[in-house]
Chain A
């Protein structure tokens, strides 16, 4: 692993005659909290010529894996691998869940050759959304507009496990009206860490406070990232602090879906 970006795996380009069948691994948080991100992902994938399917799914198993419950993680991994059998690709709008699917599943089954082979094959066809669009499909630009200044937070697993760094920036720079500014510590963890945020709430809070200060110094109106967990953490802290900076998943901007309220903001008709 390197601090910046690793080179993406070489995957054959989809043939123009038959659109690739892409299974959306929607992720628990997007499924439950913010379906808008899921629909943004679908829009981007379909716009790039994919046939998107959404097999019945639950969780990638990462909460169990990181809590030391390896058996549950394996059960859920096997469940996910099965669910996406008939997909050419598996795409997740998250570097964290994507990293679990693409790097940790093979580790989970290291001592079971038959499952290990399945996990390897599954991992090889799995991608984080930004990386899939740019590295696999070769998308160069999007047809979207956003009038504002955004800064991008590099979520840890996407950055360090999957090499997601340049891809979202490349696409963001093609959005009409959008200005992308870098914060000094875009590669520093926001302090979310899944259950860490609750198990070590005070510590997590200290880390996200610094993150918010860094975001504030970038003078952007919106912070973007590719992971809803980090985004909920940053949005929640920014809101608690009374900051005016909004938080959104990068896919929403790229799909031209910035009409939806930002994370943790009320719907326009919501005051009823």
Chain B
């Protein structure tokens, strides 16, 4: 039941994205995060120290995850809630659907949750005859469009304002067709009006979690719209669905990570809402659900513990890596073909759905390293993409031309004397061939290059050959 992947068609997806003029216009906004994050980091002298601290907290937690999970469960139960463990998407969906059915739910509101995308929750709810309503504005928009998020914190970043107006007119048929939607405020007001009715009608509210706090059994979400609060307070049942690495030992730890989260994500000092929920409503509480459930999803993550991809489990889903990625900037999130785009997706996706399926993603990187440079928990993303390439190479999954090309090159590179001779002959010949122009606009041996750009011709004899001629052989 896991979300359907088109990661194997990354190259085709990227081709389409590059030729989608509307998408290209929308993607300009993804680049704006870069300056905001830099400014936010510069405003806080201890930002770098906080990154170290956030990394240490996550590493410590992962090293003792079993103990912390048990302790967290005890606290949730003490607060009157329930914890359910789901090995995979199918189990998670069954637990959630059973809880909804037990409540006789007809309508479910949802806060933004990437885990719910991972398990394909909306489709499962609809198939069971339960209306699922996304309440984050971006998520609501893409739900209307029948799409998946193209960014983990800005799900509709690929959509333009004009697209939204079109979608609202198409779907909100109950409103006067000649209404004015020319201003962003008018669009927002319309979404707010529609969503208010959905909030009131919902039987169950489902949210994700940014943190599951062991100390208190609390789940925490950060939002900018407050939709999460209405999702979890108004319905009778609140279900939290989160993956197991969201565990954090204490509220103090959480506060430290929160200080790098929004700054890394949007450049805000803090998100507008940081919402804590601990169990169902207590006697005397003015509001809140009467049932509180946490569904903790594994879906392949425990296999990453203790291995070369464990560091990926530090990820706090800020999106900074994709906000700074030249590849993401060029093609957007959908081209990656599964739930998680950008550099974090290029590492996580093969871990969760297999490298045979998702092998292109860790290959589609220039290794520019900017993702690692901005990651708040210092995940060595390029190194881990390289690990995936190693796994691919070992299993002979890399494309044949690459393997043969490397083999040919390796033969010479391992034999310095032969290499010097061969490269010198090559350089002289190509230098002669390219002498008049200084470059090639077509080269049969490098058509992948010359299809898009000219190729500089060698100057002539190699450096090593000229050096030897000048100074006599050194060795």
Q: How far is the CA of A39 from the CA of B367 in the complex (A)?
A: 29
A67: which of B18, B330, B398 is its contact (CB, 8 Å)?
Answer: B398
Identify the stretch in B179-187, B270-278, B441-449 within 8 Å (CB) of chain A at 4 or more residues: B441-449
Q: Which residues on the A side are within 8 Å of B330 (C-beta)?
A: 203, 206-207, 210
Q: How far is the CA of A192 from the CA of B365 in the complex (A)?
A: 10
Q: Is the CB of B14 within 8 A of A236?
A: no
Task: Give 28 A-B contacts (CB < 8 Å), ordered by A residue.
Answer: A26-B464, A28-B423, A32-B423, A32-B426, A32-B462, A33-B458, A55-B475, A56-B464, A57-B464, A61-B413, A66-B367, A67-B393, A67-B406, A156-B368, A160-B372, A188-B370, A189-B368, A201-B448, A202-B14, A203-B14, A236-B449, A237-B452, A240-B453, A263-B456, A267-B438, A270-B437, A270-B438, A272-B435
Identify the stretch in A9-17, A68-76, A138-146 within 8 Å (CB) of chain B at 4 or more residues: A68-76
A113 within 8 A of B: no
Identify the closest chain A residue to B441 (Cβ): A240
Q: Which residues on the A side are within 8 Å of B372 (C-beta)?
A: 1, 160
Told that A3-B373, A67-B393, A267-B438 touch, could you supply 17 new A-B pairs with CB distance under 8 A? Answer: A2-B373, A26-B463, A38-B467, A54-B463, A72-B406, A83-B475, A188-B370, A194-B367, A201-B448, A202-B11, A203-B18, A208-B452, A237-B453, A240-B441, A240-B453, A271-B436, A272-B435
Contact with A along B446-475 (1 / 0, CB 8 A): 101101111111111111101100000011
Contact with B along A242-263 (1 / 0, CB 8 A): 0000000000000000001101
B48 within 8 A of A: yes
Q: If the complex has contacts A201-B451, A240-B441, are A56 and B416 also in contact, measured as CB distance less than 8 A? A: yes
Interface residues of A in 47-90 (CB under 8 A from B): 53-59, 61, 63-70, 72, 75-76, 79, 83
Chain A: interface secondary structure? helix
Q: If the complex has contacts A199-B363, A201-B449, A237-B453, are A38 and B439 also in contact, measured as CB distance less than 8 A? A: no
Q: Is the CB of B406 within 8 A of A235?
A: no
Q: Which residues on the B side are within 8 Å of A68 (C-beta)?
A: 386, 388-394, 398
B448: which of A64, A156, A198, A264 is its contact (CB, 8 Å)?
Answer: A198
Q: Which residues on the B side are within 8 Å of A31 (C-beta)?
A: 423, 462-464
Q: Is the CB of A63 within 8 A of B412?
A: no
Q: Which residues on the A side are within 8 Å of B460 (C-beta)?
A: 35
B454: which of A57, A205, A239 is its contact (CB, 8 Å)?
Answer: A239
A198: which of B364, B446, B459, B462 is its contact (CB, 8 Å)?
Answer: B446
Q: Is the CB of B474 within 8 A of A55?
A: yes
Q: How far is the CA of A58 from the CA of B378 in the complex (A)?
A: 34
Q: How far is the CB of A13 from chain B (nearest CB, A)?
A: 26
On B, residues with C-beta under 8 Å from A are 11, 14-15, 18, 38, 48, 326-327, 329-331, 363-370, 372-374, 378, 383, 386, 388-394, 398-399, 402, 406, 409-410, 412-417, 419-420, 423, 426-427, 435-439, 441, 446, 448-449, 451-464, 466-467, 474-475
* Shortest beta-carbon contacts, A-B, top 9: A193-B366, A68-B393, A236-B453, A68-B389, A189-B368, A35-B463, A198-B448, A266-B438, A264-B439
Identify the closest chain B residue to A159 (Cβ): B369
Q: How far is the CA of A208 from the CA of B326 in the complex (A)?
A: 10
Identify the closest chain B residue to A211 (Cβ): B326
Q: Is the CB of B369 within 8 A of A156?
A: yes
Q: If the complex has contacts A26-B464, A35-B462, A264-B438, are A1 and B451 also in contact, measured as CB distance less than 8 A? A: no
Q: Is the CB of B386 within 8 A of A193?
A: no
Q: How far is the CB of A193 from chain B (nearest CB, A)?
A: 3
Q: Which residues on the A side are within 8 Å of B399 (C-beta)?
A: 199
Contact with B along A225-237 (1 / 0, CB 8 A): 0000000110111
Contact with B along A209-227 (1 / 0, CB 8 A): 0100000000000000000
Q: Is the CB of B369 within 8 A of A160?
A: yes
Q: How far is the CA of A206 from the CA of B439 in the complex (A)?
A: 21
Q: How far is the CB of B126 from chain A (nearest CB, A)?
A: 35
Q: How far is the CA of A57 from the CA of B463 in the complex (A)?
A: 11
A58: which of B369, B402, B419, B454 is its contact (CB, 8 Å)?
Answer: B419
Q: Which residues on the A side are within 8 Å of B386 (C-beta)?
A: 65-66, 68
Q: Is the CB of B449 within 8 A of A264?
A: no
Q: How far is the CA of A56 from the CA of B45 in the complex (A)?
A: 48
A30 within 8 A of B: yes
Q: How far is the CA of A28 from the CA of B451 in the complex (A)?
A: 23
Q: Is the CB of A236 within 8 A of B370?
A: no
Q: Is the CB of B402 within 8 A of A3?
A: no
Q: Which residues on the A side are within 8 Å of B446 (C-beta)?
A: 198
Q: Which residues on the B side are within 8 Å of A176 (C-beta)?
A: none
Identify the closest chain A residue to B390 (Cβ): A68
Q: How far is the CB of A159 from chain B (nearest CB, A)?
A: 8
B452: which of A2, A56, A201, A267 is its contact (CB, 8 Å)?
Answer: A201
Q: Which residues on the B side are within 8 Å of A38 (C-beta)?
A: 463, 467
Q: Which residues on the B side are within 8 Å of A204 (C-beta)?
A: 366, 452
A66: which of B369, B389, B448, B451 is its contact (CB, 8 Å)?
Answer: B389
Q: How far is the CA of A60 from the CA of B414 in the complex (A)?
A: 11
Q: Is the CB of A232 within 8 A of B474?
A: no
Q: Is the CB of A264 within 8 A of B456?
A: yes
Q: How far is the CA of A266 from the CA of B459 in the complex (A)?
A: 9
Q: Is the CB of B435 within 8 A of A270?
A: yes
Q: If the complex has contacts A63-B406, A232-B455, are A56 and B389 also in contact, measured as CB distance less than 8 A? A: no
Q: How far is the CA of A54 from the CA of B416 in the complex (A)?
A: 13
